[in-house]
Chain A
Amino acid sequence: MGSTKTWTVVAALAILLGAWLFFTRHNRASRASLPQGQTAPAPDFTLPQLNGQTLRLSSYRGQVVLLDFWATWCVPCREEIPHFMALQDKYRADGLQVIGVSMDDGPEQVRTFCQEFHMNYPVVMGNAKIGELYGGVLGLPIAFLLDRDGRVYAKHIGATKPEIIEKEVVSLLQTRPS
């Protein structure tokens, strides 16, 4: 019984430590650079997916799109991905589509990563051109949230608290395309 109590205390401390590390790290880097509601058209693009097919952003018009610029070597990017996968599962039927844009130099590591993490949304290989189209992707991660009309609703530079993204997603999912 004493052993059980000790384990319970250790477990509680471990959870508190894990939670503290998680939240302090997310609090450091997150910021939305667009004021809420200030929208601009998201530049359209066609890029290759890892499966060889192409993905055109405008084909998702009518859905809320979370466009995530990331890379396999980027620690905060990797930490966000499980949250994005959870959002994709939770809100798929309501019209959310997450799209990953990998800024890795080649597809090999990205393919391996996506298989290992069982990613449930499409990932395209980005390049300098799309980075410039989106105002310069010169730091990772950067996530753009697009409304159902394909306009940029929010831009998040750095790791962002999952609840902030989810709140915005839920808000946009309640709208209809104009």
Chain B
Amino acid sequence: MRVTGTFAKLAMLLAVMSLSASEVVAQATSIPQARQISIAELVKLLQPPEKGNPLIIQVGSHVLYSQAHIPGSEYIGPASSDVGIQQLRKRAESLGRTRLIVLYCGCCPWNHCPNVKPAYDALQAMGFRNLKVLYIANNFGADWVDKGYPTAKGD
């Protein structure tokens, strides 16, 4: 009886751990489709004559940003951390709420990214209405750099 009880508790613990992890990684997938922008759409947006002049913000790791990032994009910090969110809010507070902002990370596959959803939520809560999140299916290296899109290095 005691063995069965212990077994059951262990099993529940395993299940809860699995479910909680799934919940964490499911965050990016809950960003509405209408708020996502594809890589092809962003690349087109950055080229004249359609130059939409979006503010592009990277909300992932600085080590990754230093290796390669979208030219003209700004580094803010991992939005999964309190510091990153604070920096994002600080950067955004003086911006007009109709400004086109594109958030991106690309640290991990889309359904595992811990950064884009908190960043999206923070700016959404601040009232930004023209907000997009770059959909990166696998990671920034595979989906942007390896595809030959323009890339900048350094800080």
Main secondary structure of the interface of A (DSSP, over half): helix
Interface with A: B49-57, B103-111, B119-127, which one?
Answer: B103-111
Closest B residue by C-beta to A132: B67
Complex: A109 Cα to B61 Cα, angstroms: 13
The reply to whether A79 and B64 form a contact with Cβ atoms under 8 Å apart is no
Closest B residue by C-beta to A33: B142
Least CB distance, A139 to chain B, in whole angstroms: 2
Query: How large, as a class, is the contact surface on chain A?
Result: 35 or more
Greatest chain B CB density within 10 A among A10, A29, A128, A131 is at A128
The reply to whether A139 and B78 form a contact with Cβ atoms under 8 Å apart is no
Complex: A70 Cα to B11 Cα, angstroms: 28
Main secondary structure of the interface of B (DSSP, over half): helix
The reply to whether B139 and A138 form a contact with Cβ atoms under 8 Å apart is yes
The reply to whether A29 and B109 form a contact with Cβ atoms under 8 Å apart is yes
The reply to whether B63 and A12 form a contact with Cβ atoms under 8 Å apart is no
Least CB distance, A89 to chain B, in whole angstroms: 21
Q: Provide the residues of chain B in CB contact with A18, threshold 8 Å.
A: 11, 14-15, 17-18
Given contacts A11-B7, A18-B18, A103-B63, is CB(A139)–CB(B142) below 8 Å? yes
Closest B residue by C-beta to A136: B141
Judge whether A85 is part of the interface by a CB distance below 8 angstroms: no
Least CB distance, A74 to chain B, in whole angstroms: 6
Chain A, residues 83-108, CB within 8 Å of chain B (1/0): the string is 00000000000000000000111000
Q: Provide the residues of chain B in CB contact with A21, threshold 8 Å.
A: 18-19, 21-22
Q: Provide the residues of chain B in CB contact with A14, threshold 8 Å.
A: 11-12, 14-15
The reply to whether B142 and A10 form a contact with Cβ atoms under 8 Å apart is no
The reply to whether B114 and A15 form a contact with Cβ atoms under 8 Å apart is no
Complex: A127 Cα to B5 Cα, angstroms: 47
Closest A residue by C-beta to B81: A73
Query: How large, as a class, is the contact surface on chain B?
Result: 35 or more
Q: Provide the residues of chain B in CB contact with A104, threshold 8 Å.
A: 61, 63
Closest B residue by C-beta to A141: B108
The reply to whether B61 and A15 form a contact with Cβ atoms under 8 Å apart is no
Complex: A43 Cα to B1 Cα, angstroms: 56
Judge whether B112 is part of the interface by a CB distance below 8 angstroms: yes
The reply to whether B114 and A128 form a contact with Cβ atoms under 8 Å apart is no
Complex: A93 Cα to B111 Cα, angstroms: 38
Complex: A15 Cα to B63 Cα, angstroms: 38
Least CB distance, A141 to chain B, in whole angstroms: 8
Judge whether B8 is part of the interface by a CB distance below 8 angstroms: yes
| Those 3 A-B pairs whose CB atoms lie nearest each other, nearest first | A139-B139, A138-B141, A128-B66
* 25 A-B contacts (beta carbon < 8 Å): A7-B8, A8-B4, A8-B7, A14-B11, A15-B15, A18-B11, A73-B61, A74-B107, A75-B21, A76-B109, A103-B61, A128-B66, A131-B63, A131-B64, A131-B66, A132-B67, A136-B145, A137-B64, A138-B64, A138-B140, A138-B145, A139-B109, A139-B142, A140-B107, A158-B138
A binding-site residues for B, Cβ under 8 Å = 4, 7-8, 10-12, 14-15, 17-18, 21-22, 25, 28-29, 71, 73-76, 79, 103-105, 109, 126-128, 131-132, 136-140, 157-158
